[in-house]
Structure 1
Amino acid sequence: MNDKAQRFSALNISDPLIQTTAQKLQNQFGSFQKIRDSQRLEIQIQRQKHFALVHPWQDQFGLNWLIVTVVPESDFMGQINANTRTTIGLCIGALGVALPIGILSARWVIRSIERITQASEDMADGNLEQHVKHSRLVELDKLGNPFNSMAGQLKESFETLEDKVKERTTELASANDEIITLNKRLKEDNLRMGAELDIVRQMQQMILPNAEELEIEGLDIAAYMEAADEVGGNYYDVLNTDGVVTLGIGDVTGHGLESGILMLMAQTAVRTLNEIRELDPVLFLDVINRTLYKNVQRMNSEKSLTLAILNYSKGWVSISGQHEETIIVRNGGQVERIDTMDLGFPIALDDDIAEFISHISIELQIADGIVLYTDGIPEAKDINKKQYGVEQMCEVISQNWHLSAQEIKQAVIDDVRRHIGTQKVFDDITLLVVKRTQLGVENKSQPQAAALV
């Protein structure tokens, strides 16, 4: 109009882009003067997104402007969106091509695998004429080659199997004939061994003291012996010679034929020395040991036995030899346990045991007595593997000492049986009860010590 520059408010410009941008800045910052730093804005103009960059600018002449740049989103996103659509189209096309190719390839591989599978099933059904064709796939070809090799080996093996079966059948028939022959021999040997064991068992029973031999004036005696097997290794004896009562008890290691024979040897040796009136305990046990030791060496055996000998006369008893504890029971049931460990040495274990042999003497009053036993009693186990024990045996003896020797013996055996229950008896059981009933001759001087076990 007058060729002068005029200033217009951006808020009143008719251009919607300028007006909307100015309004957005006005609303966000309150006034244009508050914009001191560059700002980035998003503006909706006619439902289209625009990006605005506001940058303050000043110079030395006092100009203070805001430089605003507004760019529609469509100006730089159009090409990107077009590229995106193109990419999606290409992907769909590639998928359309790859899918049929993948299906065809999978069917090709599956057919090769099915051929191998079918060949395996046919082999399992007994058809060994199988051969897998060569495949273009390296992996399947590597699988097919070992399969063909295996099929050939199986075919060869089955072809020779029948011959091998016939050969083995012939060998088994021959072996069966040998087994039948050996069984017959074994049966004959078992019958023979059974007869021999029965003879030894009968001999053991025959040499045990009979009821009449246990009837000794001034003494009440009861005895019990049960073998775990047909032939046991326990020994006991009661000998009455010239007013001296000799009690012997022993236990051979193990049981069976060897133990039974060694027990018979021990009984014979004790009886022989008793008959010749050998009363020296050292000499008595030393002779028995040397005799049995030499026999055991002849037998090439490792058997040995514990052996204790007790001599009773006129109210005194002497004890010698190593065995289980000797139980002395006083009138009223008081129990004294005598350890025999230092009174001897196992028999037939060494050729010279004289230096280990000793003896002790104990006086017995009326109603006092002696109880001898083997380890089959205290070591008897119940079904829970709990042992019977010496303490339990002593308690039963003490509680029943007012009874006869036979009743005391039976009370102990019944209690052991109750403890064992249904459990198997693993060791021989021997028990000897001797109870003094009267003084007899008044001469109470101690007798000479005799060999004791």
Structure 2
Amino acid sequence: MASLLDVDGVARLTLQEARHLIVATDGVVMLMDEPSGALSAVASFGDVFGSVGAFQRGVGILGRIVETGIAEVVDDIEADPGRAIDGTGLRSLICAPLKVGDRVSGVIALASSERLGYTAADLKLLNTLGLQTGTAMENARLFERTVEAGRERERLMQLHEAAEVARAKLDSEMALAARIQADLFPSELPVLAGYELAATNRPALRCGGDYYDAIRVKGSDGRDQVLLCVADVSGKGMPASLLMSSMQATLRALLGRLESLPEVAGESSRLLFATTSASRYVTAALLKLHPESGQAVFVGAGHLDNFVLTGDQRITRLSSTGMPLGLIAVELPFEETAITVAPGDCVVLYSDGVTDAQNVASEEFGDDRLHEVIRATAHEPAQAIIEQVVRAIDQFAGEAPQFDDITMMVLKRLPLTSS
């Protein structure tokens, strides 16, 4: 019996041996669920025990055996005050606990439909069988748990392997998306006589959703112009990279044939809506500059307010003049804001990751702190201004993680020098 490693098999063999040694018309082996005390049949023979359902520790004759851990002979079941079920047709009963050490794990019972006088020898035999069976069934239980644990371990290993494959695939996709994004940013910014131009992008994750660009174009009058753009693409990862790529290609294609910046914004929005899902859109700050004169037009496509810091330290806000690009199918016209970038002025274009940066107290960096840093550093080169802003954000955020991309472009018109 001890060599059997199957609980049901041990129970069946136990009843088979008991039936050969002790006269009985019915028999059962029950195991107890320790938390609830419920007793359920693992194996049985005869008509009664297979149909009476579950028993409970401390309830009925079998429950009493489990509760006390003492084997009993009941010569007259109907006369026993502890019986839990009437009308079973059984007259005599002999039962013993299944034990592992001092712990009771179940019960074995034999019964007869005729009144029999079970003897002390029968009780000793069944009690010994109960002890052997308890140990054998505990071993079988442990084996089953070991087998189940092995299966669960194998299942978890398979899940882990699948997760590793998925993670490797995601890492590969993210690396590709990051390379695509890196290739979309200009390798160098245009050099403009009388100006300094600098930009930075620091994604919050490996693959961000912000974009900046500076594109030289020829105006209808043949004079050089430059389009400056800072955009925030919805989403992250590969979808954002693809949308960013589409945004760049669209802008560059339209600048070659459309003179008006509002028209460029409107046509970009229409094309992006037609080629992307409804949940994808782009907010953008677009500034088209005539470097020679300093005349410029600004279009804000659902973007947060950007600004110009004038030479006398005044802030001129550049507010949104239309909807985000690609958001809706309706072609709503974009307005434009005309400005003059005078000597000593700084144009500051940025994404919301700059002003929305938070510290550990969930306070935002905000517009006022940004204006303060720009005012304090306006005399420095454009690249140094950006570096000071990023440093101020990091000092403000402290231990708080960066949760959004930080993108900024600074166009500084150099002051006139006296000859």
What TM-score range do you get, normalising by the shorter chain?
A: 0.5 to 0.7
RMSD over aligned CA atoms reads 3.7
Q: In structure 1, what residue type is equivalent to 2:243?
A: L
Q: Offset of 1:281 from its aligned partner?
A: 3.0
Measured after TM superposition, the shift of residue 128 of structure 1 is: 4.3
Residues 145/431 of structure 1: CA separation in 2 closer, same or farther (3 Å cut): same
Q: Which residue of 2 is the match for residue 347 of structure 1?
A: 325
Q: Choose which of 237, 248, 251 in structure 2 pairs with 1:267.
A: 248
Deviation, structure 1 residue 130: 5.3
The answer as to 2:304 corresponding to 1:318 is no
Which residue does the alignment assign to 1:251? 232
Aligned residues: 307
Question: Which residue identity is paired with 1:335?
Answer: I
3-state SS in 2 of match to 1:155: strand
Say if 1:294 and 1:170 are closer, same or farther in 2 by CA, change over 3 A.
farther
Structure 2 distance, partners of 1:310, 1:209, is 16
Task: Report the Cα distance in structure 1 between the residues aligned to 2:395 and 2:373, rounded to whole angstroms.
Answer: 13
In structure 2, the residue matched to 1:178 is 155
Tell whether the 8 Å contact from 2:200 to 2:409 is kept in structure 1 after alignment. Answer: yes
Structure 1 pair 295–164 and aligned structure 2 pair: CA distance change class (3 A):
farther
Range that drifts further, 155-164 or 236-245: 155-164
Q: Which residue of 2 aligns with 1:26?
A: none
For the residue of structure 1 that corresponds to 2:106, the secondary structure is: helix
Q: Assess, with a 3 A threshold, how the Cα gap between structure 1 residues 277 and 356 changes in structure 2: closer, same or farther.
A: closer
- Residues in 2 aligned to 1:179 and 1:254: alpha-carbon distance in whole angstroms: 32
The counterpart of 1:371, out of the listed 345, 348, 351, is 348
Alpha-carbon distance in 2 for matches of 1:401, 1:132: 101
The alpha-carbon distance between structure 1 residues 326 and 277, as it changes in their structure 2 partners (threshold 3 A), is: farther
8 Å contact kept, 1:214–1:222: no
Tell me the SS of whatever aligns to 2:401: coil
Correspondence for 1:329? 309
- Contact kept in structure 1, 2:230 and 2:408, CA below 8 Å: no
Secondary structure in 2 aligned to 1:209?
coil
Once the two structures are overlaid, the 10-residue window that deviates more, 162-171 or 264-273, is 162-171
Cα distance 1:303–1:172, how it changes in 2: closer, same or farther (>3 A)? farther
- Alignment check: 8 A CA contact 1:308 1:319 kept: yes
Q: Is the 8 A contact 2:231 2:282 kept in 1?
A: yes
* Equivalent pair of 1:335/1:398 in contact (CA under 8 Å): no
Question: Structure 2 CA distance, aligned partners of 1:317 and 1:193?
Answer: 43
- Contact residue 181 and residue 241 of structure 2 kept, 8 A: yes
Aligned equivalent of 2:268: 288
Aligned-partner Cα distance in 2 for 1:393–1:164: 68
2:195 to 209, 213, 219: 219
Q: Which residue of 2 aligns with 1:230?
A: 206
Is the CA contact 1:333–1:399 (under 8 Å) kept in the aligned structure 2? Answer: no
In 2, Cα distance between equivalents of 1:225 and 1:200:
15
Task: Using the TM superposition, give the Cα deviation of residue 421 of structure 1 relative to its aligned residue in structure 2, in angstroms.
Answer: 0.9
> Does the 8 A contact of 2:209 with 2:236 survive in 1?
yes
Secondary structure at the aligned position of 1:238 is classed as strand
Secondary structure in structure 1 of the residue aligned to 2:353: coil
Render the CA deviation track for 1:208-246: whole Å, top value 9, x for unaligned.
1233x3422222111111001111000111111221110
**Residue of structure 2 equivalent to 1:396:** 373
Give the match for residue 278 of structure 1: 258
1:99 match: none
Q: Identity of paired residues, percent?
A: 23
- How many Å separate the matches in 2 of 1:132 and 1:382? 77
Cα deviation, 1:304-329, whole Å, max 9, x if unaligned, reads 22122110012111011221112111
Richer in strand (by share): 2
Q: Distance in 1 between the 2:335 and 2:107 partners?
A: 82
Distance 1:317 1:130, change over 3 A: farther
Taking a change above 3 Å as real, the CA distance of residues 169 and 278 of structure 1, as seen in their structure-2 partners, is: farther
SS at match of 1:376: helix
Higher relative contact order at CA 8 Å, sep ≥6: structure 1 or structure 2?
1
For residues 330-358 of structure 1, the C-alpha deviation after alignment (integer angstroms, 9 at most, x for no partner) is 01322122221xx1111222122x32411
Give the corresponding residue for 1:306: 283
Instruction: For residue 176 of structure 1, report the CA deviation from its aligned partner.
Output: 3.2
Query: C-alpha displacement at 1:384, in angstroms?
Result: 1.1
The match for 2:185 is: 208
Check conservation: 2:263, 2:334, Cα contact below 8 A. Answer: no
* CA distance in 2 between partners of 1:253 and 1:130 (Å): 75
* Deviation of the 1:145 alpha carbon: 6.9
Distance 2:247 2:69 in 1: 75
1:165 CA drift (Å): 5.7
Shift of 1:131: 6.0
Q: Distance in 1 between matches of 2:69 and 2:271?
A: 77
Unpaired runs of 5+ residues, structure 1, are: 1-114, 135-140, 440-453
CA offset at residue 171 of structure 1? 4.5
Quote the residue 1:416 is aligned against.
Answer: 393
Aligned partners of 1:437 and 1:230: how far apart in 2? 35
Give the Cα separation in 2 of the matches to 1:287 and 1:131. Answer: 93
AA matched with 1:155: G
User: Residue deviations 1:109-141, cap 9 Å, x none?
Assistant: xxxxxx99xxx9x969xx84556999xxxxxx7
**Which residue of structure 1 lines up, in the alignment, with residue 128 of structure 2?**
none
Larger gyration radius, structure 1 or structure 2:
1
Contact 1:344/1:357 (<8 A) preserved: yes
Deviation string for 1:134-164 (max 9, x for gaps)? 9xxxxxx77x979xx9x89951598977656
Residues 251 and 334 of structure 1: CA distance in aligned 2, closer, same or farther (over 3 Å) = same
- TM-score, normalised to structure 2, is 0.64
For 1:156 and 1:268, the matched residues in 2 are separated by 80
Aligned residue type for 1:350: I
Question: In the aligned structure 1, how far is the partner of 2:247 from the partner of 2:239?
Answer: 12
Task: Measure, in 1, the Cα distance between the counterparts of 2:142 and 2:257.
Answer: 76
